[in-house]
Amino acid sequence: MSGDPVGNDILLSVRDLRTAFDTMDGTVKAVDGVSFAIRRGETLGVVGESGCGKSVTALSILRLIERPGRIVGGSVDFGGRDLLAMSESEIRDVRGNRIAMIFQEPMTSLNPVYTCGRQIAETVQAHRSVSRAEAWEKAVEMLDLVGIPDAGRRAKQFPHQMSGGMRQRVMIAMALSTDPDLLIADEPTTALDVTIQAQIFELIARLREERRMAMLLITHDLGVIAEMADDVVVMYAGQVVEQGDVRSVMTDPHHPYTRGLLASIPRIGERRHRLEVIPGVVPNPLNLPAGCLFRRRCPYAMEICETPPHLTDLGGGRSSRCWLDAEGRAPEVTLPEAAHG
Amino acid sequence: MTSDSDQTIRERWVASPSPAGGGTTRAGDPASSVDEVDLTPVRTYWELVRMRFRRHRPAVISVFVLAILVIYAVIVPLTTGEGYKDPNIRKVWDPAEIVITFDPFTVEAFAPLGYDEIGQNVFVRLAKATQTSLVIGVAAVLIIAGIGSFIGAIAGFLGGRVDNLLMRLVDIVLSLPVLFIILMIVSFFGTGDVSVVIIAIGITGWTLAARLIRGEFLTLRETDFVMAARALGVHSRRIITRHMLPSALSPLIVASALGVADSVVAEAGLSFLGFGISPPEASLGNMLNNAQTYFIRAPILIVWPGLVLILIVLSVSFIGDGLRDALDPRQKIESGS
């Protein structure tokens, strides 16, 4: 499919990942042949509408897919080993140790019956041979690092005694306590209010910089991608429809879906009567249209779109799954203004 | 009952938001006044548990009642030894007597509840019976909670086919007529043996605990914190024992409290039918059975073991109720500040 991005210091390489869910009405291909790669220290953003397979992709990488879901095929190469082929105990050592994950819901992702410090200490103890006291010390140190004031005292508190932003900081502290090579952040700020969101992203960006950690950032917010990511993968209905470096994707989107996403961002200082929207909804995964999955919502739909397009390499690490690009004739259309200067 | 007590607890908290609790940080404490809005006093988990438990009035009273019964059931048989079996032909049907001698705890000297039809000291005999019942209740409930949480946890955690299989096993056990199974086990392995009675009650009574734990585990399995623990590489066994079981503690405690009550009643029923603990050994059941024979002659003999039985069952249930509320860290003690 798409060639490996330039640079050979690749940390994680996902190839043709396929994850399906067996439902009563049939099999849903939640992730259908997704490929991408993350270099050491780089941030890859995954963007798309709800239900397009972003989270399932992340969970599949760590093999956290549970019945009725199953990983059907593909490979996830991490540091020279295929995570999908590992034994249960090997993958357990990767989880939380080399690849850590933070979830959407800080309110419920912490165990309510243990103190925050103890939960961090548990993660440390699960992967490092340290004493209880050392693990606790590490927990307090991590809480301090993520900007929780009076960390020693806070460590002894239960999650319900903290605010949402605090809890997400605790989750970050927990994820980073083992110094992972890759952090998977699955919409880490969706449940938080806007000012806290900014703080959390600032924190993540700072820690990532300090520790030269790679990150897989899942979000539906293109603004966040523009701010945080180096490269971006745009997903639609379980497939990658466009990928490339953030700047060029944002300024020169190729796939009509990416264009639609960019056009639907409201901008300050611009008079518009209505916000642009992409008409229609993501197709029912049980009943996907033949051909291009975006065809029914696409303003440029053509006859050829009834044949499924393939991911076309556009050079410079960019690719797009659209016949417009495959045919080598980008249409004359007014592109939305650059979202990112 | 349950939601009622929850409600009253909350109401009390709203009414008196600052409970008297030792070792708390007060607002305005220099250590916590710097740049923090949150002045939640930091209490340890067990301080919170104690505070919440004390809010539950019936449970607190029950602790005292049960404590008195336990002391009674330990001290009296300890000082009188086999005295509960001793018949005394001269004392048959003697009413209550307390003879203060230099040695007040001799059988002849201290009989506030009088003597029964063969001259056994009812006070001493009742103590031994209480002891037997409590031992059976606690031991049986350990078996019940053990089997119940093991099967429930596995079914709930693994789900799917294993869950189906184990739950059908529960259905099978539930569909059996429990009393007859216990009777069969007891009459096969030896009537009158306390450990046989314990095992018989234990292996037939775990179904409720298993169902409750399984239900709780099914919910817990889907929670984000279990997923987060898995994503952080925590071993399944540890997730079950450290993350899920403590959260499933409430139903386990309820099941255990009911289990103690049920076991005590089951033993009484068994002995009443003559299959449990038989005389000269003492149990609440055989004392009741015996008293029934002489109901016209001495109706008071039914009252004492009956009263103890009721007190045990009630106080254990109340304590279970209070414990469940107190042990749940999710239950907030502060009125929203």
- Contacts of A189 by beta carbon, 8 Å cutoff, 6+ apart: A168, A196, A197, A200, A201, A224
Q: d(Cα A134, Cα B151) in Å, to the nearest integer?
A: 36
Are A239 and A292 part of one and the same domain?
yes
Contact A109 B225 (CB under 8 A): yes
pLDDT over threshold 90, residue B98: no
Q: What is the pLDDT of residue B283?
A: 85
Torsion sign over Cα B300, B306, B310, B311: positive
Complex-level ipTM? 0.75
Shared domain check, A77 and A49: yes
- Smallest CA–CA distance from B336 into chain A, residue: A161
Three-state secondary structure along chain B?
CHHHHHHHHHHHHHHCCCCCCCCCCCCCCHHHCCCCCCCCCCCCHHHHHHHHHHCCHHHHHHHHHHHHHHHHHHHHHHHHHHHHHCCCHHHCCCCCEECCCCCCCCCCCEECCCECCCCCEHHHHHHHHHHHHHHHHHHHHHHHHHHHHHHHHHHHHHCHHHHHHHHHHHHHHHHCCHHHHHHHHHHHHCCCCHHHHHHHHHHHCCHHHHHHHHHHHHHHHCCHHHHHHHHCCCCHHHHHHHHHCCCCHHHHHHHHHHHHHHHHHHHHHHHHCCCCCCCCCCCHHHHHHHHHHCCCCCCHHHHHHHHHHHHHHHHHHHHHHHHHHHHCCCCCCCCCC
Q: How confident is the model at residue A57 (pLDDT cuts 50, 70, 90)?
A: very high
Closest residue in A to B246 (Cα) is A113
Residue B261 clears pLDDT 80, i.e. is over it:
yes
Place of tokens 């086990």: B185
**CA–CA distance, B225 with B214 (Å, rounded to integer):** 18
**Which tokens hold the place of A240?**
């990658």
Give dist(CA A2, CA A317) in Å, integer: 8
What three-state secondary structure class fits A317?
coil
Find the residue in B nearest to A174 (Cα): B232
If asked whether residues A168 and A190 sit together in one domain, one would say: no
Res A9: pLDDT: 84
Chain A nearest-CA distance from B172, in A, is 27
Do A161 and A249 belong to one domain? no
pLDDT tens-digit profile of A59-76?
999 998 887 889 998 999
Residue of B43, B227, B232, B333 best to disrupt the A interface, most CBs of A under 10 A: B232
Task: Return the residue in A111, A123, A142 with the most chain B beta carbons within 10 A, the one to mutate for interface testing.
Answer: A111
Residues A155 and A296 in one domain: no
CB B314 within 8 A of CB B62: yes
CATH number, residue A307: 3.40.50.300
Query: Looking at residues B246-272, what average pLDDT do you find?
Result: 84
Is residue A156 within 8 A of residue A117, CB to CB? The reply is yes
Residue A113 to residue B247, Cβ atoms within 8 A: yes
- Per-residue pLDDT at B241 exceeds 90: no
Integer Rg of chain A from CA? 21
Q: Looking at the predicted structure, is the pLDDT value of residue B111 above 80?
A: no
DSSP 8-state assignment for residue A327: T
pLDDT over threshold 70, residue B46 = yes
Residues 26-45 of A with CB under 8 A from B: none
Phi, psi of B44 (to 5 degrees): -75, 165
Number of domains in chain B: 1
Q: Identify whether A68 is preceded by a cis peptide bond (ω within 30 of 0).
A: yes
pTM greater than the 0.80 cutoff:
no
Q: Do residues A157 and A303 both lie within one domain?
A: no
Q: Chains A, B: CB contacts under 8 A, how many?
A: 89
**A239-245 and A312-315 strand pairing:** unpaired
A174 and B CB contact within 8 Å: yes
**Measured between CB atoms, does A175 come within 8 Å of chain B?**
yes
Segment A219-268, tens digit of pLDDT = 888 888 988 899 999 999 889 999 999 999 988 888 889 888 888 887 77
Q: Is B332 on the interface with A (CB under 8 A)?
A: yes
pLDDT band at B294 (very low <50, low <70, confident <90, very high): confident
Of A97, A105, A171, which has the smallest distance from its Cβ to B233's Cβ?
Answer: A97
Least confident of A118-122, B1-5, B149-153: B1-5
Out of A121, A150, A179, pick the residue that ends a domain.
A179
Contact B85, B91 (CB under 8 A): no
Q: Measured between alpha carbons, how far is residue A333 from residues A31, A312, B92 in Å?
A: 31, 20, 111
Enclosing domain of residue A168: 107-179
- Residue B99 phi/psi, 5° resolution? -105, 115
Structural domain for B156, as ranges: 67-83+122-325
Element housing A11 (H / E): strand A10-23
Are A233 and A323 part of one and the same domain?
yes
B88 CB within 8 Å of a chain A CB: no
Which tops the pLDDT comparison, B26 or B104? B104
Residues B61-73: tens digit of each pLDDT: 999 999 999 998 8
B335 domain-assigned: no
- The nearest CA of chain A is from the CA of B156 a distance in Å of 14
Burial class of residue B110, CB neighbours in 10 A (0-12, 13-18, 19+):
buried
Confidence band for B30, pLDDT divided at 50, 70 and 90:
very low
Closest CA to A325 of A341, A304, A306: A304
Identify the weakest region by mean pLDDT among B16-20, B225-229, B286-290.
B16-20
Tell me which chain B residue has its CA closest to the CA of residue A101.
B231
Rounded percentage of chain A residues whose pLDDT exceeds 70: 92
- pLDDT value at residue B14: 42
* B125 has a pLDDT exceeding 50: yes
- Domain shared by A169 and A193, yes or no: no
Q: In this complex, do A157 and B40 lie within 8 Å of one another by their Cβ atoms?
A: yes
Asked if B46 has any chain A CB less than 8 Å from its own CB, the reply is: no
- Overall number of domains in chain A: 2
CA distance A128 to chain B (A): 12
- Contact check, Cβ <8 Å, B330/A112: yes
Q: Is residue B336 less than 8 Å (CB to CB) from chain A? A: no
Whether residue B26 lies inside any domain: the answer is no
pLDDT band of residue A290 (cuts 50, 70, 90) is confident
Q: In terms of DSSP bridges, do strands A231-236 and A239-245 run parallel, antiparallel, or are they unpaired?
A: antiparallel
Interface of A with B in 109-128 (CB under 8 A): 109-115, 122-123, 126-127
Best A94, A110, A113, A123 residue to mutate vs chain B (most B CBs within 10 Å): A113
**Alpha carbon distances (Å) from A185 to A52, B132, B241:** 16, 58, 27
Average pLDDT over residues B28-43: 49
Nearest to B160 among A67, A101, A105 (CB): A67
CA distance A183 to chain B (A): 11
CATH code of the domain in which B144 resides? 1.10.3720.10
Q: Which of these ranges, A45-59, A292-306, B59-73, B138-152, has the smallest mean pLDDT?
A: A292-306
- Provide, as residue numbers in chain A, all residues whose Cβ is less than 8 Å from the Cβ of B39: none
Mean pLDDT, chain B, integer:
77
Where is the domain boundary, A164, A179, A194?
A: A179
Same domain, A153 and A173: yes
**Residue B77 placed within a domain:** yes
Name which of A75-84, A253-262, B129-138, B290-299 the model is least confident about.
B290-299
- A170-179, B168-177, B247-256, B303-312: the lowest-pLDDT one: B247-256
Rg (chain B; Cα; Å): 25
Give helix B249-272 / helix B178-189 axis angle, nearest 10°: 60
A175 three-state secondary structure = helix
Contact assignment for A126 to B233 by CB distance below 8 Å:
yes
Mean pLDDT calculated for residue range A80-109: 88
pLDDT digits (tens, 9 = 90+) for A133-173: 999 999 999 999 888 888 888 898 888 888 888 888 899 89
What confidence tens digit (pLDDT) does each residue in A9-32 have?
889 999 999 999 988 888 888 898
Contact B284, B267 (CB under 8 A): yes
**Same domain as A232, residue A161:** no
Summarize the confidence of residues A330-341 as an average pLDDT: 46
- B227 to chain A, any CB pair closer than 8 A? The answer is yes
Do A236 and A144 share a structural domain? no
CB atoms B224 and A108 under 8 Å: yes
CA B142 to chain A, closest CA, distance in angstroms equals: 23
A169/A299 same-domain check: no
Chain B partners within 8 Å of A126 (Cβ): 232-235, 238
